[in-house]
A and B are shown apart, each in its own frame.
Chain A
Amino acid sequence: MNMLGNNLSRQAIVKNELGLHARPAAMIAKVAIKAKSDVWLCREDEQVDASSIIDILSLACLKGTEVTLKIETPDDMDILNEIITLFENNFEEKR
């Protein structure tokens, strides 16, 4: 975890019923693709490329999974926030 305090990583919890399935993965990837540098989605010690749907799916995050999002440069802070908002809004799925 980044301890320098410039918050290049944030945590989120998967709250939607089917976990990070194809549609939410696509929503994340769509945002991450715009980033200037790499965006990483991490679960425990596994880390995948957040701009790849396939990579995200392969992480198999079920409902309740805690994940961490990491960016490489402060320039991508907006991207990070946008993805976190997706998590917080439950990927626009009904509860």
Chain B
Amino acid sequence: MPSDTTEIILKGISGAPGICIGKAYLVDKEGVDVIEKYAITPDLVKKEINRFKSAVTIARNELSDIIKGVPEDLRQHSGILETHLLLHKDKMLYGKAIDLIENEMINAEWALREATSQAKSMFKNIEDPYLKSRSADIEHVSERIMRNLVGRKDVNISNIDKRVILVAHTLSPAETSQIQLEKIMGFITDRGGKASHTSIIARTLEIPAVLGLDNATQIIKNDSIIIVDGSQGIVIVDPEEETLIRYDELSKRYETRKAHILRTSDLPATSADGHPFTIMGNIELPEEIVAVKDHGGEGIGLFRTEFLYLGRTHFPDEQELFNQYREVAELMAPDPVIIRTLDINGDKAITAMSPPEEANPSLGLRAIRFCLQKPDIFKTQLRAILRAAAYGNVQLLIPMISGCEEIRQTYKIIDEAAESLEKEGLAYNRDIPIGIMIEIPSAAIMAEEMADLVDFFSIGTNDLVQYTLAIDRVNRHVAYLYNPLHPAVIRLIKQVVDAGKKKKIKTFMCGEMASEIINLPILLGLGLDAFSMAPQSIPGIKNIIRKISVKEAKIFLKEVLKQTSALDTMQLITDTYGEILANGTYDENKDSA
């Protein structure tokens, strides 16, 4: 590499696979969730209040100008803007924010945020949909003041008029919906992870995305050339000519392979020697069903249900949950929809009930532990699931089971939910398959005993690897140790699959491990029955399964079990299956990219 190189390589999280090269477009607006909170000293309270007041004044002047710009004959429609003008000085917003600055000695931005959310919460119990939606007016007004407080220009994403790569600190659902997608080649954000709304949208639309880059918005300048490698989670700023040529080629090859593999996605996943496998999709929103079907998924193997519980101030009610589950069940019928019950806390905090701070959230009160402690919240969800089960092939999946006792306690609550539905005369189906996630080593070790209690196992590899190897996935210092091919992980999975076979129940895998083709020879050799993954990974995995013989994979597994490190295992896979695997993916060999 020449010494005068100017290219900068940024590493983030892969939000959606694919490669694109284009010009950066910075969205110069921060979402509400990045507002800073800091204390102010008593002598500065007055100054802070004045800062707030002048932001309100500027905001009102802006709005007055907008109103003046409305043509005479359209004036009657500007009534809502006049209302907004008054709202700027409303006691509940303006007065409240000043009170907060004064009494709690916090900065104006945070005070405004607090006042806004309090004002909005007054609308949550209103049933009339029109009046309820007026809380959006408060939000608009608050946003305008906030922009003036933070000192940022009003950027309208919907006005982007060229094909660009969007660079943002964070993108709210409202903003993502504003974007004209045919104009966007890719997304880059400072914040966000694999499960963020932006990532889901990008994956659904198959636009390359790299998230969690920390400071991309500070490093990347408007209109600079950038390469987004969504598959690797890499962004290259101001690339060298050589790099450009290499990525241009990679991108073309990626597209060609993708087109080829997509064409075959409807073919069944039957191994080279005739063993059929079921390949399903993981989803978080009903909208993703389309992607699952388009990519040849034969059911929903993991329906994550946290989305409706996150980022809001109250828990969803049974009807809201039921409507969503029923929609998914009906759309997928007769294929299965495996609904995983609430898996909150850990890395996903819920605002409706602020949990106590935990030193080790992933080892703390989460998932089934949380649900068993809050049987009312749990029962609401179970009732919604049992009711939806009357409309399709719904199955129930319980996360984070660590012992048999938790299964028995869960059954008790399921029975209570069913009894209450029976009493109320509502349509439901209690007679559905119930499975557990195997993601805690103790569950894997006790698999044989647990198999007597449930109808199926679903191995969640992300957590199983993390707990088995004692690695905090979020901790960068130890992340290099995270490897699903660690011999201990493979042995643990084998134990689970063997227990399932002995007790004649099926074992699925729904973690990331199942969506990486390098793992497939081992997984087929282990004898798993079905796999579930991000919809976009389905065609590639089906394609690779068709090229592998289960009989040979079983023999290969014996060799794998002799290995003592993940590295050796990896080498063995490449030596044995390298050629098959290299031809089966959209991505080039990772080393060359």
Binding site for B on A (CB under 8 A): 18-23, 25-26, 29-30, 49, 51-55, 57-58, 60, 62
Contact = CB atoms under 8 A, between A and B. Distances in A.
Size category of the B interface is: 20 to 34
Interface string B365-386: 0000000000000000000000
B80 interface: yes
A26 B82 contact: yes
Contacts of B134: 21-22, 57
A29 B137 CA distance: 16
Given A22-B137, A29-B90, A58-B122, A53 B128 contact: no
A54 B93 contact: yes
Contact of B92 (A21, A30, A54, A62): A54
A18 B91 contact: no
Given A22-B80, A22-B137, A30-B86, A57 B131 contact: yes
A42 to B, nearest CB: 16
Interface in B44-98: 79-80, 82-83, 86-87, 90-93
A26 B492 CA distance: 65
11 contacts: A19-B130, A21-B131, A22-B80, A25-B83, A29-B90, A52-B90, A52-B91, A54-B91, A54-B119, A55-B91, A60-B132
B244 interface: no
Contacts of A57: 122-123, 131, 134
B138 interface: yes
Contacts, number: 58
B35 interface: no
B79 A51 contact: no
B87 A53 contact: yes
B83 to A, nearest CB: 4
A54 B87 contact: yes
A94 B18 CA distance: 56
B4 to A, nearest CB: 59
B43 interface: no
A58 B91 contact: no
Nearest to A29: B86
A23 B79 CA distance: 7
B591 interface: no
Contacts of B131: 19-21, 57, 60, 62
A63 to B, nearest CB: 10
